[in-house]
Homo-oligomer: A and B are copies of this chain.
């Protein structure tokens, strides 16, 4: 999916959006945020279905991990290691896909090779951390709702400005793991925003903040 302002002509800064686990490139949370980035920020926004999400087939291994996650949710088992296993499984495929998508997007007349940002929470951050680490065209990233178990090595390679979200009462990601991931980023400018509430309860004012963060770093 690519969104640009009405009657867009000429190049513009681009925000890549990685959706959460079980969601897809047109999930309401993606579309609502993309709309604000485009309408209020003048950005182009692109979203991809992650491997095994949206219309894309799941591998047997992904099916197994998701079944395990469901079982543990029902039985009260520890969720974090399973979430991490899923992110690590998908990241190897997702990173080159994002890079190929970015190549293609930058050849479009109404996008072009302007600064690029990445926005992704939860699985979108689990896959985003290795992508942002690998891709020098990304100049700023909003990440969060995931922990240091995923991609520790990649996190330490990130040097661009990062705004990182932690939900203080996250039932999927231990608080200490989120804080530890923030600690790992090598960025000179990184800012942690923590708010009370469970995994899916990020307050809407954080979208205002993300919009200003990208405006500050990409425009």
Listed in ascending order, the chain A residues whose CB lies under 8 Å from chain B are: 166, 168, 179, 182-183, 187-196, 203, 205, 208-209, 212, 216
Contacts and interface: CB of A to CB of B under 8 A. Distances in A.
Interface of A: prevailing SS: mixed
26 contacts: A166-B192, A168-B183, A168-B192, A179-B179, A182-B194, A187-B196, A188-B196, A189-B195, A189-B196, A189-B203, A190-B195, A190-B196, A191-B193, A191-B194, A191-B195, A191-B203, A191-B205, A192-B192, A192-B193, A192-B194, A192-B195, A193-B193, A194-B194, A205-B216, A208-B212, A209-B209
Nearest to A192: B194
Copies in the assembly, this chain:
2
Contacts of A208: 212
A104 B203 CA distance: 36
A120 to B, nearest CB: 20
A162 to B, nearest CB: 10
Nearest to A164: B194
Contacts of A203: 189, 191
Contacts of A168: 183, 192
Given A191-B193, A192-B193, 12 more contacts: A166-B192, A168-B192, A182-B194, A187-B196, A188-B196, A189-B196, A191-B195, A191-B203, A192-B192, A192-B194, A194-B194, A208-B212
